[in-house]
Amino acid sequence: MASTYLDELDALLPASLLDRILNAYSATTDQPGDEHLKAILDDPDLGPIARNIIVMWFCGTWTALPAEWRSRNDAAEDSTHVVSPAAYQAGLQWVAAGAHPAGARQQGFGAWSTEPPGTTS
C-alpha cells in the first residue's frame, strides 16, 4: 500500500510539504526518546499531515485537513474519503482488532458466532 499512499499524498499535498513530511523523521532522530515524533506531531503544518497518514495506514481513509491549514499552506481542497477498496481491506485496524474488513472477505456461514483468533472468554 505504500506506493498507493504516496500517490495519494502527492495528489493532495503541496510538493514542499510532501518533501518536509517525508524528510521530517530522519531530520529529527537526533532528539532523545520519542521527542522526535512529538516535534513532528506538534508542528502546525506537519502534525495534521502525520495524523492523517497514521489514520490512512490504519483505516485506509484520508480525512480532510482543516480549512485553516489549507489556506495557510495554499493546499487544494481535499475531502474525507476512502483511498481505495484495497486500502480499506489492507487497513491495520483489522490486524489490530483480529478481525476482517466488513463486506470485503467472506468468512463462511456462522463465522460471526466464533471468537476472533487470540481471544479468550
Residue 32 has what pLDDT?
66
* Residue 103 resides in a domain: no
Inform me whether the pLDDT recorded for 91 exceeds 90.
Answer: yes
* Residue 119 resides in a domain: no
CA distance 81 to 55: 12
* Residue 117 resides in a domain: no
Tell me how crowded residue 65 is: count the other CB atoms within 10 A of its CB. 20
* Residue 37 resides in a domain: yes
Residue 61 DSSP SS3: strand
Amino acid identity of 69?
W
* Residue 55 resides in a domain: yes
- Residues above pLDDT 70, as percent of the chain: 87
* Residue 121 resides in a domain: no
Q: What is the count of structural domains for the chain?
A: 1
- The predicted-structure confidence for 7-18, as pLDDT tens digits, reads as follows 999 999 998 998
- Where do the H-state alpha helices sit in the chain? 2-12, 15-28, 35-42, 46-59, 67-72, 85-90, 92-97
Average pLDDT over residues 62-67: 94
* Residue 113 resides in a domain: no
- The predicted-structure confidence for 107-120, as pLDDT tens digits, reads as follows 777 777 777 666 66
- Residue numbers of the domain that contains 88: 2-98
* pTM over 0.85, yes/no: no
